[in-house]
Every structure is written in structure tokens, then in C-alpha cells.
């Protein structure tokens, strides 16, 4: 892809792949952001670092 992947489209890709894989839950573009924030929290990162990572 010449222009890259837009943020809106990445969520669509994640949702479609989850459906294709027949996962028991519906994943969205929000899922990776939440997962990253949870990983930072478990590592006792500063809240500012967590907020910055999620935009």
C-alpha cells in the first residue's frame, strides 16, 4: 500500500481477522491500545506514560 494503513482501517482489519479466526470475543481497533495500557499498568509505569502511549 503506497499510502500506508489509516488508523480507522487498522481497526477494521483487526475486527475482520478476529471474525475470520472465529474468536469467541469481538476485537476492535481499541483492543491493542487497551492491551498496551494494561501492560504499562502492570509494569507500574507512570500514568503520564500510559496516557501518552494511548494518544
For residues 40 and 32, the answer to whether their CB atoms sit within 8 Å is no
Is the per-residue pLDDT at 34 higher than 70? yes
Distance, CA of 41 to CA of 46 (rounded, Å): 8
Task: Look over the chain and give the mean of its residue pLDDT values, rounded to a whole number.
Answer: 80
Domains of the chain by residue range: 7-54
Higher-confidence residue of 23 and 27: namely 23
Q: How many CA atoms lie within 13 A of 35 on its CB side?
A: 6
* Mean pLDDT of the 4-32 span: 82
Amino acid at each position: 500500500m503506497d499510502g500506508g494503513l489509516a488508523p480507522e482501517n487498522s481497526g477494521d482489519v483487526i475486527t475482520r481477522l478476529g471474525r475470520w479466526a472465529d474468536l469467541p470475543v469481538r476485537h476492535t481497533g481499541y483492543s491493542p491500545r487497551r492491551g498496551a495500557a494494561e501492560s504499562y499498568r502492570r509494569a507500574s509505569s507512570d500514568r503520564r506514560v500510559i496516557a501518552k502511549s494511548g494518544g
